[in-house]
Structure 1
Amino acid sequence: MSVTRPEQHPRVPDGYDRLWTPHRMAYIDGENKPVDDGAGPGCPFCRAPGEPDEQALIVHRGQSCYVVLNLYPYNPGHLLICPYRHVPDLTEMTAVERAEMTELAATAMVTLRRIKDCDGFNLGMNAGPVAGAGVAAHVHQHVVPRWAGDANFLPIVGQTKALPELLGDTREQLAAGWGDGPR
C-alpha cells in the first residue's frame, strides 16, 4: 500500500491523497474464479481442501464443510464456509451439510468475537451470478466481522477497502483459536 501525495506527482491537480491498491485488479479481472461450472481444478472451493491449510488459508476442516479466509475480504477475518461437495446452493446440500454449515457459522462468530473483538456480523450467501455470487457453482456462506465505524468513504467513493492485516496472519490467529472459549 502506498499513498501518493500531489506534490510527488504534479499532474494531480485536486490535492487528494491516493491510496493505491493494485492487488484488487486480480479480483476485478476475475483471477482465481472458475472457468466453468465444473468441480475439480477449475473451482477454487474444490481445489482448496487438497492444499495445505496455510497455503489455502483454511482455518478449520469439518466433516462435510470447511472454513476458509476470503481472498478478497470486506474486513479482516472475513470467512467463507464451504461444503467439500461441489453444489450450487442450499437446495442441493444435504441436511448434514446444512447443519454443519450453520454450526460452523456459529463457531466462527464465537471465534471472531474472542480473537478479533468485533461488534457484529454480516452473514449470508449469494445464490447465482445475478445475485452477486463470484463463484456461483459452489455454494459458500460469508461470515463478515464488523466493528463500529469500520465503514468509511473508501468503499463508498473509492471502491477500496483498507485492510490492516495480512491474510496469513489472520488465518494463523483464527486457526489457533478456533472454537476455544465459551459460546
Structure 2
Amino acid sequence: MADAPDAPEIREEAAAESPDGFARVPDGFGRLWTPHRMVYIDGADKPKDSSRAECPFCTIPDKSDEEGLIVHRGRGCYVVLNLYPYNPGHLLVCPYRHVADYTEATDDEIFEIGTLTRTAMSVVRKVSAPHGFNLGINQGDVAGAGIAAHLHEHIVPRWAGDMNFLPVVAQTKALPQVHADVRKALADAWP
C-alpha cells in the first residue's frame, strides 16, 4: 500500500519539549494565568502558628464588613466570603471564639452555625440560584482544613456543569464575580 501524499511523517522517537519561554511564545493554546493563586499556594495568608493573634478568623471581625468580606454578624458566629472560593458565593460560618474542633464549640455556637448555614443557603439561592450546595467542616490539616486552628463551616453553592475542564486540566477556577459584588449582594439579601 502506498503512503498518502500528505501523510504526516511518523517519528520513531518523541523528544520532550522544554517549558522555558512558553509564556512568551504564541501557540495554539489559550492559557489562563492566575498568578494571584500563588498567594494561597505559598501560604502567605496562613497563620504562622495556631495562636489567636495569628488567626485570620479572629482578626476578620475587627475589620469593616467590606474589608473583611463579612456578609453577616451574629451573636456568637459570623458569615464571611471565602477569600479563595471554590465557586462564587462560597461562604464560611465561623465562631468568634478561637476554637479548633467542633467538639470544643458550645451548644449555642453549634446551634448558631446551623442556623446561619440554613439562612446562608436561602440567601444564596435567592441571589444566585444554585442547583445545590456542598456543606462541610474540614477538621485538621490532614482533612483539608486550610486553617485548622479555627473552626469554620464551608457553604459552597454548586451549579450543574460548574466542574468544567479548567480545574481538571489547568488547576484554575474561573470566577465571574469579584468578592466585593458578591459580598454586597449577599449582605443586602440577608434577612
Which TM-score applies when normalising by structure 1? 0.90
| Structure 2: gaps spanning 5 or more residues | 1-22
Alignment of structure 1 residues 117-128 onto 2, 5 Å: 117-128=129-140
Aligned to 2:32: 19
Residue by residue, what CA displacement relative to the aligned partner does 1:8-52 show, whole Å, maximum 9, x if unpaired?
Answer: 943x55x21100111100100102111101112x10000000110
Higher Cα radius of gyration: 2
Alignment of structure 1 residues 18-57 onto 2, 5 Å: 18-40=31-53, 42-57=54-69
Asked if 1:160 corresponds to 2:172, the answer is yes
Residue by residue, what CA displacement relative to the aligned partner does 1:62-108 show, whole Å, maximum 9, x if unpaired?
Answer: 00000000000000000000000000011000000000000000000
- For residues 29 and 127 of structure 1, the distance between their equivalents in structure 2, rounded to whole angstroms, comes to 21
| Structure 1: gaps spanning 5 or more residues | 1-7
- For residues 112 and 66 of structure 1, the distance between their equivalents in structure 2, rounded to whole angstroms, comes to 16
- For residues 66 and 91 of structure 1, the distance between their equivalents in structure 2, rounded to whole angstroms, comes to 19
Which 4+ residue blocks in structure 1 deviate beyond 6 angstroms?
none
Over aligned residue pairs, what C-alpha RMSD do you find? 1.2
Alignment of structure 1 residues 14-163 onto 2, 5 Å: 15-40=28-53, 42-163=54-175
Q: Which amino acid aligns with 1:123?
A: L
Helix, strand or coil: the match of 1:175?
helix
In the TM superposition, residue 114 of structure 1 has moved relative to its aligned partner by: 0.5
Which TM-score applies when normalising by structure 2? 0.86
Q: Number of paired residues? A: 169
- For residues 144 and 165 of structure 1, the distance between their equivalents in structure 2, rounded to whole angstroms, comes to 15
Asked if 1:173 corresponds to 2:185, the answer is yes
In the TM superposition, residue 130 of structure 1 has moved relative to its aligned partner by: 0.7
Helix, strand or coil: the match of 2:67?
helix
